[in-house]
Amino acid sequence: MYGKRLRGLALSTFVALTLTLVLVLFWAPNDAYLGFLQKIFYIHVPLAIVTLCGFIAGGVMAIQHLRTRDPRWDMRSYVAIHISLVFGVAVLITGSIWAKGAWGHWWVWDEPTLVSFLLIMLLYATYQPLRFAIEDPERQARSASVFAIVAGVFVPINFAIVRLSTAYVHPRTLSNISGNLPGRMQVVFYLALVSVALLWVTLWRYEMTSKHASAQLRALKRLLGGDEDEAPARRSAAPSVTHLGGVR
Amino acid sequence: MAPLPLHTAGPYVAAAYIVFVALILLYVAIMAGKLSRIERELGELTELAQRTRGPGDGQDAL
């Protein structure tokens, strides 16, 4: 089910990312202040936006899980948060590289955007240990969903607070007042945003396909071998595929 | 502030993009490992199905 159209999606992502990279390097003009260093912006900012949207999406999926009690929504939420965490790590590393080049420091503690993003990452870093700490699959799924919703609500609130704060050290990217990009930069930025969003969706579907196949295999194994042949499920932070049974 | 010259900014930009690509490749490699496990389990299931159907019926199982 999740593997359907995955090849097309992966191909579109590859084309979009390649096109973005070519345009970033050869078409987008250099920034007047940062020069060539500003090219990091085209990967760092879209990654940050997609990461935060991914966390919110994980929260929305968790709401669906609590509403329907369908374990598939828990799995979707888990995968969304998992991929967003990977993207978040990329945001922190690319941001640090940019900070080192632009400001001469790997990290600046008095910069609200950086610190708030780190706070969000630290918050979500507790998601997997939380899941792992709860053995009962249903209780684990419920608790993880509550966490995903609360943390998902925190993300836009945190974003708004940082925007409203007065210490504008970090450059604004999408703003009506300041920080507007010139034409070519804007085109490349939006293309980069679409490319990174496509990558997120592709990886989400890729992992969901893998989880789905695993769940189907376990179910088939039980059908063919009988329940007595089934080894006891290992404790895991991931939603139990055995618990999902015939997940579709 | 004067913009950083290309030879100074270049390594930073390259490092950022390499980190991005490396993380994605690492993720894909981990997923490939999981896919291999699924493939192995599928092989075990095929054997199990062949055993269940009996030695004479296994020819058309593939």
Give B41's contacts in chain A (Cβ within 8 Å).
217, 221
**Residue matched to tokens 């058309």:** B60
Residue ranges covered by each domain of chain A: 6-244
* Closest residue on chain A to B40 (Cα): A217
Q: Does B12 sit within 8 Å of A100, measured CB to CB? A: yes
Please check whether residue A31 touches B, CB under 8 A: yes
Residue A245 has pLDDT above 50, yes or no: no
Q: Distance (Å, rounded) from C-alpha A219 to C-alpha A226?
A: 10
pLDDT band at A179 (very low <50, low <70, confident <90, very high): low
Give A21's contacts in chain B (Cβ within 8 Å).
17
Q: Does B48 sit within 8 Å of A35, measured CB to CB? A: no
Please check whether residue A174 touches B, CB under 8 A: no
Please check whether residue A130 touches B, CB under 8 A: no
pLDDT band at A126 (very low <50, low <70, confident <90, very high): very high
Q: pLDDT tens digits for A54-64?
A: 999 999 999 99
Please check whether residue A14 touches B, CB under 8 A: no
Residue A116 has pLDDT above 70, yes or no: yes
Please check whether residue B23 touches A, CB under 8 A: yes
Q: Does A37 sit within 8 Å of B4, measured CB to CB? A: yes
Predicted local confidence at residue A246, as pLDDT: 45
Predicted local confidence at residue A222, as pLDDT: 80
- HEC assignment per residue over chain A: CCCCCHHHHHHHHHHHHHHHHHHHHHCCCCECCCEHHHHHHHHHHHHHHHHHHHHHHHHHHHHHHHHHCCHHHHHHHHHHHHHHHHHHHHHHHHHHHHHHHHHCCCCCCCCHHHHHHHHHHHHHHCHHHHHHHCCCHHHHHHHHHHHHHHHHHHHHHHHHHHHHCCCCCCCCCCCCCCCCCCHHHHHHHHHHHHHHHHHHHHHHHHHHHHHHHHHHHHHHHHHHHCHHHCCCCCCCCCCCHHHHCCCC
Predicted local confidence at residue A227, as pLDDT: 55
Q: pLDDT tens digits for B17-56?
A: 999 999 999 999 998 898 888 888 888 888 888 887 765 5
Q: pLDDT tens digits for A180-201?
A: 677 888 999 999 999 999 999 9
Count residue pairs from A and B with Cβ separation < 8 A.
86
Q: Does B9 sit within 8 Å of A101, measured CB to CB? A: yes
Q: Which residues of A66-95 are buried (b: 16+ CB within 10 A; e: fewer)?
A: beeeebbbbbbbbbbbbbbbbbbbbbbbbb
Predicted local confidence at residue A170, as pLDDT: 60
DSSP state of B1: -
Q: pLDDT tens digits for A82-106?
A: 999 999 999 999 999 999 988 888 9
